Amino acid sequence: MSDSTAVILPFPKPSLIEGTVADGFEAVAQAMKDNFTERGERGAACTVYYQGQKVVDVWGGHRCQDNQMAWNQDTLSLSFSVTKGMAAAATVVAYNEGLFELDAPVCDYWPEFAHGGKEAITVRQLLTHQAGLVGINQRLNAEILADHDQLATILAKQKPVWQPGKQHGYHTLTLGWYQNELIRRVDPQGRSLGQFFQDEIAQPLGIEFYIGLPDDIAPERLTNVRGFNRFKVLGNLDQLPWKMVMSGILPWSPVAKSINFLSVSNPATLGNAEMRRVEIPSANGIGQARAVAKVYAALIDPRSPLKIHAATRRELLADPERPVGGNHDQVLKIATHYGFGFSRPSNGFPFGSDHQAFGCPGAGGSFGMADPTRQFSFAYLTGKMSFRIFDDPRERAVRQACKKCIDALEGSTSQIVAA
């Protein structure tokens, strides 16, 4: 795996877009530029790996809309649920090291987890959003989240809101904390997921992505995401699964339960000084697009420093295990598929060239993914939140340009597949 790229782009407006691109991928950078001139982008970065090589690494605009400070190659951005993909990568590496079995009950590794009828929930069900543990029955704050032992006690007491394995639904915030405690229990060093990620993924790959931002990271390196009050989504139902929004009005719904335990009315609050220090492995990762893309590239490249075994890749790329009740998501209210903590292509969210693709979108327009069949990975991080939770027009335009470039290079006309 190489970070080398080819041509330095002769952009007409270098103050808007900077970076490098390999021959044949110029259209990706052009689509990125068009985001600023045609789609209202204010600050973003995009990286693409193809066949183990970094072929696109571009960024532009402003990292802070208040003072117009430029987004540069060292900028770190709040990635929202793109973080789920990095947490899932940590889980894949732990599995690769033989620390747990997918079909073993979670309580084999975490005995207290068995409370409340959870004794039969397997690790696989947990990682495919089938456990029904979307909510928490008390308010959480940064102080609780910083205390892994206290949080684990709270998590162990939760009861599923549906019969595990029968249905599935997006564990908006909770999945990462359950993954964290699983990692802490099976790791011989007892590391948190954020520390495990740093030691076992970030350092070997030489990347910057943090789940729990260290205090020594200078604030001027960070994007300043403004976000919006959650009630404003009612005026933007054309950008969201409307059934999810309407269901979220009901406080007893799985949708409402999945977010109401955290006193956050504006999603951008997850990146403030208090919250970014704690680990929210489903939502508050801060890093670079090139880091996200490199992690996805490493998961599908047997030559990468992560040394993912063939058997692990087979599990990672296998058809997702669907709940017996079908693929209707009890939280997102659309058809979804999940595997190993990642989103997989579905009719509700088609991406990639076939069913082996995997990734995680982030609220507001960010996305990270891998397409093993076409041997590419892609990441787009934006500092300007839209109301979309996936398939934002800005990242989609760049992603589609990437696919067209690969089609042209391979002489292919493959179609995106969903089911």
* SS (HEC) of 344-378: ECCCCCCCCCCCCCEEEEECCCEEEEEECCCCEEE
What CATH class is the domain 7-81+285-410?
alpha beta
Instruction: Provide the pLDDT for residue 230.
Output: 64
Please tell me the predicted confidence (pLDDT) of residue 13.
44
pLDDT for residue 238? 67
Nearest CA among 86, 19, 93, 5 for reference residue 49: 5
What's residue 124's pLDDT?
A: 97
CB 166: neighbour CB atoms within 10 A? 13
For the chain, helix (H) and strand (E) counts, in that order, are: 13, 13
pLDDT digits (tens, 9 = 90+) for 98-117: 999 999 999 999 999 999 99
Cα–Cα distance for residue pair 127/358, rounded to 1 Å: 13
> Which strand (E) or helix (H) includes residue 85?
helix 82-96
**Coil, helix or strand for 325?**
coil
Which residue shows structure tokens 């067209």?
A: 404
For 384, list phi and psi in degrees, rounded to 5: -115, 110
Q: Which residues pair with 367 in a beta bridge?
A: 361, 380
Distance CA(334)–CA(330), nearest Å, equals 8
CATH pick for 84-271 out of 3.50.30.20, 3.40.710.10, 3.40.50.300, 3.60.15.10: 3.40.710.10
Task: Kindly report, residue by residue over 123-151, the tens digit of the pLDDT.
Answer: 999 999 999 999 999 999 999 999 999 99
Query: Where do the CATH 3.40.710.10 domains begin and end in the chain?
Result: 7-81+285-410, 84-271
pLDDT at 12 (0 to 100): 37
Residue 297, both tokens? 């590239």
Residues of the chain below pLDDT 50:
6-14, 413-419
